[in-house]
Structure 1
């Protein structure tokens, strides 16, 4: 008996690949369905051993709250950055900050770095090789410690609670 997990290591990803293939082909012909289905099976089969395992979501409701918080922060930061740009007489204080990480799992560190980069005015620039700190560029960082505390409380601690790590 052949286990379905062996043929479809990531079934949701396979469905997404098939869907994207059909969108790119702009046709739902039998040939495109067969070709897209073959790609949707082969690509995950050939690449799944290179992927890191994702930690399990421990608190899904906190994840929803985290996503809503990030969306709100993105909207707020867009207005703040627009205000800074629209007022050229304001003196900006761009700064690189070395952010010490509490997180240890590569997946959650990637989520944190992506969240920081999604928020206008901040960009994750580099992760140290030892994985202990993240280099962040802030467009207007008046208080380095306040920014570190804000990132830790708003993003890093919730990620640590959400995922089992």
Structure 2
């Protein structure tokens, strides 16, 4: 079964997206969606490196919900700072020392940081041990580092082996 469906979630996504784009449930489109759902992941398998290997999917869901909440709160905070006095904004860069070594986990961390308004992943050190983050407002670098490590990196270390 794994030979035909190397990435079952990707196959399901291809199937559903094709039907949504076609906006019909005609038998021909159902068949085409099924064929694409088998063939595209097989073709994409050659492009993929090692599998992400998520270890704790429920923790991943909780982290996703946390990130969504943080995105909303960060939007409000950034909007308040933008509408306030410019002198109260203190942008800056901070290097986050990484304990996570899984490349998928590092990519997820960088993506989470970038998706959260007010922060942006700028660079990964060549050795993969530090992530440079730009903060729209940086009062306390140590507190920002601690917050990112506790809220995002710690769960990601459990999710990605």
Q: How do 1:53-68 residues align onto structure 2 when only pairs under 5 Å count?
A: 53-58=51-56, 60-68=57-65
Q: Which residue, 141, 145, 148 being the options, matches 1:144?
A: 141
Q: In structure 1, how many angstroms separate the alpha carbons of the residues matched to 2:8 and 2:69?
A: 32
Q: Could you tell me the TM-score, scaled by structure 2's length?
A: 0.89
1:86 aligns with 2:77: no
Q: Could you tell me the TM-score, scaled by structure 1's length?
A: 0.87
Q: 1:89 to 1:8 in 2, by over 3 A?
A: closer
> Where does residue 40 of structure 1 map in the other structure?
37
Unaligned runs of 5+ in 1: none
Q: In structure 1, how many angstroms separate the alpha carbons of the residues matched to 2:65 and 2:15?
A: 29
> Where does residue 94 of structure 2 map in the other structure?
97
Q: How many residues are paired up? A: 160
Q: Give the aligned CA root-mean-square deviation in angstroms.
A: 1.7
* Structure 1, 84-93 or 38-47: larger mean CA deviation: 84-93
1:73 aligns with 2:64: no
